[in-house]
Structure 1
Amino acid sequence: MIAANGLLGKSCYILLSNPKPMVPSLVETGARLFVTKLLSHFISTGSVVLLENGGTMFTFEGTTKKCSLKTVINVHKPHFYWKVMTAADISLANAYINGDISFADKRYGLLNVLMILFANRGLISSSSIKKRRRWTPFIFTAGLTSAKYCFKHFSRRNTLTQARRNISRHYDLSNELFALFMDETMAHSCAVFKTEDEDLTDAQRRKFSLLIEQARIDNKMKFLRLDVVGEA
């Protein structure tokens, strides 16, 4: 089935299980209605499918051919809709990080939804903006959330007093944390991989060897390593 769909140039999504249906609250039900109507007006190109736990599906497909991408977003928790209604794109990122949503295409799903959103933003014209005036409350609440994040960022600015706190929170971290995603070399810079599934340690050691070769370093030389951390 997958091979046949691949030959036809179509996407195939197989549901291996049917999770328990979501039971949204009254507020979440209203938010879902709001978000689905918003997407039906916003998506002018490409295709976005919201697939809830239990099988409920909402499909939004544009009529223009600017973008041919398709993506299926698995919605696992009903409060996802409320967060999107009140915080817009910030909540979409947070929902993905927190596991409220996932993508049927684990490799390209996130990239595809971003490309679809960018393509549709580029299609917004003055006439479509007039149609979207009904969504002014949504824009207002999303703006308030964005303002909240901006205020939090402003409160962490590098004054003499705050700088010490910022350094402690961002840089005074234990090696146990970095060991979760680094290899035994604890190198912060990018490794040089020969294949996609190569071990990170081997790729890091290859990088070291290439640098030594390019710098023409031999066993008679000494060098000093300086780690510089910059912050905008």
Structure 2
Amino acid sequence: MKGGDMWEPVFDTMIRRLIQTGHLQITYPDGRTQSYGDGSGPPVLLILHDPKILRALCLTPELALGEGYMNRQITIKNDALGDLLRLVLRNRRPDAFPFWIRILDRARFAFRNLVQRNTAHSAKSNVAHHYDISDDLYRLFLDDDMQYSCAYFADDGMSLNDAQSAKKSHIAQKLLLSPGQQVLDIGCGWGGMALTLARDYGVKVTGVTLSENQLETARTRVTQAGLSDRVTIRLMDYRDLTGPFDRIVSVGMLEHVGVPHYRDYFDKISALLAPDGVALIHTIGRCGPPIAHSPWIHKYIFPGGYVPSMSELVPALERSGLWTCDIEVWRLHYAKTLRHWRNRFDAQIDQVRALYDDRFVRMWRYYLTVCIMAFEEQQQAVFQFQLSHQRDAVPLTRDYLYSGHIPRLHHAAQ
């Protein structure tokens, strides 16, 4: 019996238990097509080209599906990857998988502290894996300001450029900026937020990144904008910073901190923030209990990364001594952002192929699509934490965010 053949009955049983609603068709390597589900909705046709992929799908289905797609061991009719992932996620239940898969999931969750131990050395290496591949790739699908984080769609029909501008404006409002203030941008990316705050609000910004590519691009942009007197970009770990800063902003960086370091992170925010300062932390988060990180995302996209649940962040926040002045949850904004990115990526696919091989292109498309599904079909959202040392360092209502007027604050007696 061939290796693939011996795993076929196991795979067939697993998929039959998993897909209860919808219509999935699978063409096996021998050419036979089998249907799964209750037949409702349009069929999604999954084609398995290599018998070896059956064993991998039975042992580590999440990792194997991504790798199979990357390596063309798996294809989907009309390349309907999103339809396949949506069908699987809507049917996903822990009891649908064999016991060994559930054991592996529990083991990954139990040992996440070891996997996510981001020392200064490993943190820089992990950042380089994703951000130091080529700025040319990111320029093909990001907005004009190269914002690589969730946009804010205040109006459903907004363009990506406008929605990213709205995100920066919303964050600036929450920071309650005044000209001349010292602002720290932790994980400053290609410098877009730092440039916007310095240019439009008259503050002085120190941005830090661990990416060599981002450092070079951000510094070039600062010089070209004529803002060298107001924006400084450094290649350094946030843990090595000294303060104080009047304002701290961190967008899309907490996802790279890791569970073992949340206490260190918020303690450092507390230590760096001036007594009357305000911090705004923007991060992807889970609106549900913690789960193990995706093994495919960890291996190919964000090594050392993790999407935290609120319950994992709050204990570290409570112990930091900071006031949590406001928590805002953005639902579906990142799904919209990712759809813009994937559409722009697909529109520039020839240019992407000129930079990378077919496996990389399929890997990146799988990454963008699986992230869309995480925000549309799972408990994934974006959290914004507004923090301060003083309970009245920010207005007592959110009215100021929408009136365009920042009220004068009357601090309580200390």
TM-score range, shorter chain: 0.5 to 0.7
Alignment deviations for residues 52-104 of structure 1 (CA, whole Å, 9 cap, x no partner) = 467431222338xxx64632112232222101222244433443354432322
Matching residue of 1:112: 86
Distance 1:96 1:150, change over 3 A: farther
Alignment deviations for residues 125-165 of structure 1 (CA, whole Å, 9 cap, x no partner) = xxxxxxx9xx9xx423x24543664576443343xxx5123
Whole-Å separation in 2 of the counterparts to 1:38 and 1:172: 38
Matching residue of 1:6: none
Matching residue of 1:186: 146
Whole-Å separation in 2 of the counterparts to 1:210 and 1:85: 42
Distance 1:149 1:90, change over 3 A: farther
- Percent identity over paired residues: 10
Alignment of structure 1 residues 197-216 onto 2, 5 Å: 203-204=160-161, 207-208=164-165
Matching residue of 1:103: 76
Q: What is the DSSP-based 3-state SS (H/G/I as helix, E as strand, rest coil) of the residue aligned with 2:137?
A: coil
The two structures, once aligned, show a CA RMSD in angstroms of: 4.4
Q: How far apart are 1:181 and its partner, in Å?
A: 2.7
Q: What is the DSSP-based 3-state SS (H/G/I as helix, E as strand, rest coil) of the residue aligned with 1:80?
A: helix
Distance 1:93 1:107, change over 3 A: closer
Whole-Å separation in 2 of the counterparts to 1:139 and 1:49: 24
Whole-Å separation in 1 of the counterparts to 2:63 and 2:167: 40
Report the TM-score, using the length of structure 1 for normalisation.
0.55
Whole-Å separation in 1 of the counterparts to 2:86 and 2:115: 33
Whole-Å separation in 2 of the counterparts to 1:144 and 1:152: 12
The answer to whether the Cα contact below 8 Å between 1:50 and 1:58 also exists between their aligned partners in 2 is yes
Whole-Å separation in 1 of the counterparts to 2:64 and 2:110: 17
Matching residue of 1:223: 203
For this pair of structures, how many residues does the alignment match?
Answer: 183
Q: How far apart are 1:115 and its partner, in Å?
A: 4.1
Matching residue of 1:171: 127
* Matched residue type, 2:202: K
RCO comparison, higher one (Cα < 8 Å, 6+): 2
Q: Select the residue among 4, 10, 13 that pairs with 1:37.
A: 13
Report the TM-score, using the length of structure 2 for normalisation.
0.35
Q: What is the DSSP-based 3-state SS (H/G/I as helix, E as strand, rest coil) of the residue aligned with 1:50?
A: strand
Q: What is the DSSP-based 3-state SS (H/G/I as helix, E as strand, rest coil) of the residue aligned with 1:180?
A: helix
Distance 1:186 1:38, change over 3 A: closer
The answer to whether the Cα contact below 8 Å between 1:46 and 1:116 also exists between their aligned partners in 2 is no
- Specify every segment of 5 or more residues in structure 1 that has no aligned partner in the other structure, as ranges: 1-24, 125-131
Alignment of structure 1 residues 121-136 onto 2, 5 Å: 121=93
Q: Would you tell me which structure has more strand in proportion to its own residues?
A: 2
Matching residue of 1:27: 3
- Specify every segment of 5 or more residues in structure 2 that has no aligned partner in the other structure, as ranges: 174-196, 208-248, 259-414
Q: What is the DSSP-based 3-state SS (H/G/I as helix, E as strand, rest coil) of the residue aligned with 1:58?
A: strand
Whole-Å separation in 1 of the counterparts to 2:63 and 2:70: 11
